Structure 1
Amino acid sequence: MAAVMQRVGRRLRRIIQRPGTAELTRYEALLPAIAKREPELETLSDAELTEAAAALRAEPEFGDRQFTELCALGREAARRALDERAFDVQLLGTMGLLTGHVVQMATGEGKTLAGALAAAGYALQGKRVHVISVNDYLARRDAEWMRPVYDLLGVSVGWVEPGLTQEERRAAYASAVCYGAVSEIGFDVLRDRLVTRVEDLVQPEPEVAIVDEADSVLVDEARVPLVMAGSVDEGIVDEEVAKVVRRLRHGLHYETDPDGRNAWLTPAGASVVEKSLGGIDLYGENADGGPQRLAAVNVALHAHALLTRDVDYLVRDGKVQLINASRGRVAELQRWPDGLQAAVEAKEQVPPSDRGEILDSITVQALIARYPKVAGMTGTAVAVAEQLREFYRLEVAVIPPNTPNIREDLRDRIYASPSRKLRAIVEEIRTVHGTGRPILVGTQDVAESEELAEKLAKADLSCVVLNARNDAEEAAIIAEAGKHDAITVSTQMAGRGTDIRLGGADGADRERVAELGGLHVIGTARYPSSRLDDQLRGRAGRQGDPGSSVFFASLNDELVLSYAPDVPEGITADEETAEVTAVAAHRHIAHAQRVAEGVDLEIHRNTWRYTRLIEHQRRELLAHRDELLRTRLAAELLEKAAPERYAELAEQVDAERLERACREIMLYHLDQRWADHLAFLTDVRESIHLRALAREAPLDEFHRAAIPEFHKILPETEKRSVQTLADVEITEGGIDLPAAGVRRPTSTWTYLVHDNPFDSDAEQALKKVRGMLRKKR
């Protein structure tokens, strides 16, 4: 009866479109048939098992019978290769992925195996599969870990990571299943858009994407576009400006807004800067002052006031290395746009990196939209189910845990100030450590993790720290976090991807640790998203293990100050402990978190509103570029536009060389014009909101400016190409394109752009003005 009521409840929730209610009853009914196949499959040799999997390739379609066979074969392959028999819930997850859902499976429930079996299932249908992860470490680890399962099922597997050569990348993508970080796959897409020979392409046409840690990839990463830049020349640093700004003081010479996104000079600060730079007029139009010097001062002030060492970036090996806040890791080959990057390098007194120009960009949403079939898996999908539906048309399927969760989630402990909170955290660690229970502490950033480690050392409490400085040691550190007496301090746990087993990697002390209460998880502050809180909590209570979690918070935490600074009156702290127990304080911190989540959602929506047009234009242009790349179109167009010059060159070089030169010329100018178009659109975005004063919608104005400019690209490309064709000279080596200005960047990297490049402070100010005007009316 209970099972019937549960099914009815699920259907009712589905009817009213509540998130996380995708119907899996049909697949639950297949589980007995899958179990029935086990004894027979156990008798097969490895070769016979592989043959049985190969037989699925001949199936005209994939229905219930094929799902049953695939899951049975996958369970047997995992038992032989990994000594792990897939749980029924893992097979439900596999079938959820094969039907294009985002499946929610709790931490430790075996998402990696479920994803591998689904990827194999798609591959056995003849489709190329990309398993997209949040970082390179997880991509490589999972590909290597699951390889024996894929081998038994007769499916090839590879992975991509930053250190691979072009040939190695091409081989990885040629595999039936290829693992890769979302950024790495995205950058390969961007690099493929710059090639001038078909044989240089590394990615085949995309078919299926299975997104691991789907909420992190599809929601968190989606706020920041992937931007490819190419080197132009050596960077230039204004050392004089950097020295002046370094001496400025907050509150006297400059101010910042409450959320730490903007900084500006006060009149006193402007006066100090002008005098220090030789009596210039910062706001004048002369050559010594004016816009260029003011821009240099502004970016130097941004670097000085808003970017913090060990929070936003590290300085390592004489270089500034950015920290990806959503992953708690160093962002390899990533930098801020040139002016800001140079300003931070000047601030830290390290050599400037090359200056660059933006070549192309792509949003995560556009990257995922390239795949005809998309599925995903994560431990916290329901919280973003509406966003997954709105932006990706994906539905969430909640997979029940194999063993009920018995973790105890304790009430938040709130303190009046961060310093008193830190003292209480150290005391909590001392108390729990005294029992022998392992402790995992989740911090907000590198600086906080190292400050806490220092406090623990002073208290004679030994800990291991995992942050962006040593993320290469991640697996070893996390694997031992469940040992008796262990204290592990880590930055962002989302996407760490390694289970914490009680008793350590070998589980030797498992029973002893379980009897003590299991892993105790401590959060040093609430994250800007409840999902990140849940991912940290989920490290305890794995597969029915005992465990507990508690979050510490302060009414002066960054989350509260940024998103809900007006604390209700009447909230008081205990005089002795400084702890705040009022219910209103808990409500206020929860409110701050909801506001932060709302801001992030609006950033995502705003990003997509503006980039939707850009993506449409890019698709049109790429279709033309692909034709230039794969056919004789470039030669035909230039022969028609400049017949005499073309005939002249045809007499001096063979037809194949001339055709290749025409292709390179036109592709070069097409790529340049697209880069110019992106720069134009950036300028439009930065100024478009001023038109709102005339009661015009900024988005409509953006479209009015962008569309006519886009239509100029192809005619201008042809015009420039004809001019280059006229300028080229014939040397002993053939047509000398570099001498005619056809030079491509010698290196590329990615820019980390502003969190919300489409919602300027001007727009926010105008929203407030319009709101006040409406109130007056």
Structure 2
Amino acid sequence: MAALISRVGKRLRRIIQRPGSVELTRYEALLPAVEKLEPELEKLSDEELTERAGKLRETLKDTAFGDDQLIEVCALGREAARRALGERAFDVQVLGTMGLLTKHVVQMETGEGKTLAGALAAAGYAIRGKRVHVVTVNDYLARRDAEWMGPVYALLGVSVGWVEPAHSREERKVAYAKDVTYGAVAEIGFDVLRDRLVTSVDDLVQPAPEVAIVDEADSVLVDEARVPLVMAGSIDHTDADEEVAKVVRRLRLNLHYETDSEGRNAWLTDAGASVVAKSLGLEVDDLYGETASDRLPAVNVALHAHALLTRDVDYLVRDGKVQLINAARGRVAELQRWPDGLQAAVEAKEQVTATDRGEILDSITVQALLARYPEVAGMTGTAVAVAEQLREFYELEVAVIPPNTPNIREDLEDRIFASPSQKLRAIEEEIRTVHETGRPILVGTQDVAESEELAEKLAKVDLECVVLNARNDAEEAAIIAEAGKKGAVTVSTQMAGRGTDIRLGGTDGATRDEVVELGGLHVIGTARYPSSRLDGQLRGRSGRQGDPGSAIFFASLNDELVLSNAPDVPEGIVDDEETGEIVDNAALRQLNHAQRVAEGVDLEIHRNTWRYTRLIERQRRDLLVHRDKVLRTAYAAEQLEKAHPEKFGELKEKLDDQEKLEQMCREVLLFHIDQLWSDHLAYLTDVRESIHLRALARETPLDEFHRAAIPEFHKIINEANSRAAKTLEEAELTDEGIDLGEAGVRRANTTWTYLVHDNPFDSDFEQTIKKVRSMIKRK
């Protein structure tokens, strides 16, 4: 009875302390059995260890993990890690491995060894006969972790590879053929998109998806879930972008154009419209008329680039090119662009060489990408805060793994100031005071511009620091590794997904004891992030594996977070006349409220985006089944023979090679399928942009979207067959069959990939409706 009460009490405490978390009792009960196997496994040679893993593979093939199998896998993994890395996995890492093998998102604090736990779980799935993709947040971590964990996999008889942007198609095929493949989420997604455009089975690089283990799972599955990965094909750019950019560059805020309080939209005033129209040789009425239908969108895009996108915050100009910054990670977003002419507009704004514009060939959201995998698990340091979203969108539960050593980090109360300038002075003083003690300091900033501004101010007062941001992210591992040295001051943009621990005393640990004695790493946040999880990830850089440390955030009631999400600050909040510091608890409540609003907005955007993209993904899935049939069978040849038997007979005579004949027919039909799908995506974008107008007529926008989208989709297959037949009918036959170029079957000669932030409720139409409604309310 006492034991029962104890178990119930333990569960209640776990529920109260960690809402939405999985009960660990089952896994904890297996730990003694894992440990009991150690002496037996230690006696085996490397070859015998590999052989034992091979026998388990034969036993486990395509079956679920029972307790005995979990014990064996974890014991084998622990022994392989001890031999290959000189590291015996802690019990908490074994618990994490079990959580991943049973399809949970495991929460493990920074420095607790998620990389090894993920590798042991990936090996376990591979031993079970599954192909595993370990999904990382960037290419650097994919390669690093694959190489680092390679010896562990080798001892377990598991092959491992990785994909990165520099890899050729053949190298990718080799990597995906391994038991375990590491890759950045975007890189894996872009390979999926490329595979959807191939015209030969031999060109496919990815096998069917089976298991995904997601690193930084909250960032990938929640923060980036609604981000579409896009593949575009080139269309020649025009000089019109530069002409419009010159005009827009002369416009002035509040005179020629205005912006909303959230900085998401900009629009011309009457004075601005007059200036623009005159500069383009138009009348004002013509600017908004049908005769200038191509000019107004160009002006709006150029205005967006001019007014809303900031150099060194949203993008860098480096090596004569505009490079996007991934705000969530503080890195350059390699090989990525803005859509809809925005890239060209920013290039014109910065007066750099224009790149080709493009049409969208296909796209997939990160959420839909992960939904392709029958089995998904993940790991991160901050999952409990998004437990409900993980359950709602992925049917995943969170398993909170306790730290190997209790966390003794001191989390200090936020210091809040009336203005950003007063806050900055206080941050400088905090850095100076702590630096004088010799403690290493890590400063987390919001963007590149802020990190460089702070570094300049520190340099002026003889406080030297190392800066880590999108400009030098290639050196990030070396910079982070030394951030724990005595006296080090490191200023960084977003720390999420950096993937490198900060060891006290630096990489060689020479000054570790001294740094521990001084109090460990001191973390300073220059502002609260839009998500409490990002705050937690920055704090988590200190106090690694029971190390001492501390963390403090500075904030202002005029920070972007507050101005955008909770601008109505309660009256009566008083700040110190000299320093501007506010000690009133109402200021902290306002700050917390702004953060909750930001998190709520992001959740609602995620939810609404998924409601729209769910139908698109279903249509894409259905069309891909048909496309795969065309790709792998003689379907295209059969359809064309049925449509035009005589012309098909001529083609057959010319080629006199059944395989060549089928491939030529295949290329014709696949071209039209892909073109119609691209047109369908463009149509759906137009529909979604305007669908919110239906809300004024008391119709449900989502229902209207479905009514518009479904009939159009059902036309694609028949229309593709019809167009392919017309191509055959009109084509001039040569000894080589059909001249595909002459017949208009021309695929994009260059393609590229990019990410966009998708928000179905952030269109110009929706913003207009909001304004109209607010005016109606005021009247």
Q: TM-score, normalised by structure 2?
A: 0.97
Q: What one-letter code is carried by the residue in structure 2 that aligns with 1:376? A: G
- 1:45 and 2:45 aligned: yes
Q: Once the two structures are superposed, what CA deviation does each residue of 1:162-200 show, in whole Å capped at 9, x if it has no partner?
A: 110000000000000000011110110010000000010
* Deviation readout 1:108-146 (Å, 9 max, x if unpaired): 000000000000000000100000011111111111110
Instruction: Assess, with a 3 A threshold, how the Cα gap between structure 1 residues 132 and 226 changes in structure 2: closer, same or farther.
Output: same
The amino acid that maps onto 2:590 is H
In structure 1, the residue corresponding to 2:293 is in which secondary structure?
A: helix
1:19-61 Cα shifts (integer Å, max 9, x gaps): 4321221110111111111122112111111111111112144
- What SS does the corresponding residue of 1:209 show, helix, strand or coil? strand
Q: 1:14 to 1:705 in 2, by over 3 A?
A: farther
- Give the gaps of 5 or more residues in structure 1: none
Partner secondary structure for residue 522 of structure 1 = strand
Deviation of 1:338 after TM superposition, in Å, equals 3.8
Distance 1:215 1:760 in 2: 27
> For the structure 1 residues 581 and 5, does the alpha-carbon distance in structure 2 shift closer, same or farther, using more than 3 Å as the test?
farther
C-alpha separation between the residues in 1 aligned to 2:473 and 2:728?
51
Aligned-residue Cα RMSD (Å) equals 2.0
> Secondary structure at the residue paired with 2:443?
strand
Quick check: 2:107–2:398 contact (8 Å CA) kept in 1? yes
**Contact 2:233 2:748 survives alignment (8 Å):** yes
Return the offset for 1:506: 1.4
How many Å apart are 1:16 and its aligned residue?
A: 10
Matches within 5 A, 1:257-276: 257-276=260-279
Distance 1:464 1:127 in 2: 43
Counterpart in the other structure of 2:661: 658
**Which of 631, 644, 647 matches 1:642?**
644
Residues 346-402 of structure 1: per-residue CA shift (max 9 Å, x gap): 100011111111001111111111111110000000000000000000000000000
Matches of 2:768 and 2:757 in 1, distance apart? 18
Deviation of residue 759 (structure 1)?
Answer: 4.1
Partner SS, residue 334 of structure 1: coil
For 1:323-355, what per-residue CA distance to the aligned partner results, in whole angstroms no more than 9, with x for missing partners? Answer: 111111111111111421111011000111111
Partner of 2:230: 227
Q: Pick the aligned partner of 2:497 from 466, 471, 495.
A: 495
Contact 2:654 2:734 in 1 (8 A): no
CA contact (8 A) 2:274 2:284 kept: no
Instruction: State the Cα distance separating 1:762 from its structure 2 match.
Output: 3.3
**Aligned amino acid, residue 175 of structure 2:** A
C-alpha spacing 1:283/1:528, structure 2 compared with 1 (3 Å):
farther
CA distance in 2, matches of 1:519, 1:532: 18
Deviations 1:647-702 (A, max 9, x none): 12111112222211100000000000000000000000011111111110000100
Q: Secondary structure at the match of 1:495?
A: coil
Q: How does 1:550-561 map to 2 (within 5 A)?
A: 550-561=552-563
The whole-number CA distance in structure 2 between the counterparts of 1:345 and 1:84 is 50
Residue type at the aligned position of 2:502 = I
* Cα separation, 2, equivalents of 1:3 and 1:540: 37
TM-score of the aligned structures, taking structure 1 as reference length = 0.97
Deviations 1:704-738 (A, max 9, x none): 00011011111110111011112333335443111
Aligned residues: 775
Q: What is the SS of the residue equivalent to 1:223?
A: coil
Write the deviation string for residues 71-100 of structure 1: whole angstroms up to 9, x where unpaired: 111111111111111000000000000000
CA distance in 2, matches of 1:775, 1:83: 70
Give the secondary-structure state (helix, strand or coil) at the position aligned to 2:284: coil
Q: Describe how 1:453-468 pairs up with structure 2 within 5 A.
A: 453-468=455-470
SS class of match (2:341): helix
Residue 125 (structure 2) aligns with: 122
Which residue of structure 1 aligns with residue 54 of structure 2? 54
**Residue of structure 2 equivalent to 1:137:** 140
Contact 1:438 1:486 in 2 (8 A): yes
Q: How big is the shift at 1:249?
A: 1.3
Tell me if the contact between 2:209 and 2:372 (Cα under 8 Å) persists in the aligned partners: yes
Mapping of residues 529-544 of structure 1, within 5 Å: 529-544=531-546
Question: What displacement does 1:644 show?
Answer: 1.4
- TM-superposed CA distance for 1:11, in Å, is 4.0
Tell me by how many angstroms 1:291 deviates: 2.5
Task: Name which of 646, 667, 674 aligns with 1:671.
Answer: 674
Structure 2 CA distance, aligned partners of 1:189 and 1:415? 48
CA contact (8 A) 1:173 1:204 kept: yes
Aligned residue number for residue 71 of structure 1: 74
Query: What is the deviation of 1:774?
Result: 9.9
- In terms of mean alpha carbon deviation, does 228-237 or 524-533 score higher? 228-237
Which residue in 2 is equivalent to 1:631?
Answer: 633
Q: Distance in 2 between matches of 1:235 and 1:169?
A: 35
Query: 1:519 is matched by which residue type in structure 2?
Result: L
Q: Give the share of equivalent positions with the same residue, in percent.
A: 79
Match of 1:601 in 2: 603
Deviation at 1:483, TM superposition (A): 0.4
After superposition, the Cα gap between the structure-2 partners of 1:16 and 1:772, relative to the gap in structure 1 and judged at 3 Å, is farther
Helix, strand or coil: the match of 1:238?
helix
Gaps of 5+ in 2: none
Q: Aligned in 2, Cα 1:79/1:6: closer, same or farther, shift over 3 Å?
A: farther
1:390 correspondence with 2:392: yes
Q: Distance in 2 between matches of 1:693 and 1:375?
A: 42
Match of 1:172 in 2: 175
CA contact (8 A) 2:277 2:287 kept: no
Amino acid at match of 1:403: T
Q: Structure 1 residues 63 and 406 mapped into 2: Cα distance closer, same or farther (>3 Å)?
A: same
Aligned counterpart in structure 1 of residue 333 of structure 2, from 306, 323, 331: 331
**Higher mean C-alpha displacement, 430-439 vs 276-285:** 276-285
Q: 1:697 to 1:444 in 2, by over 3 A?
A: same
CA distance in 1, matches of 2:752, 2:225: 19
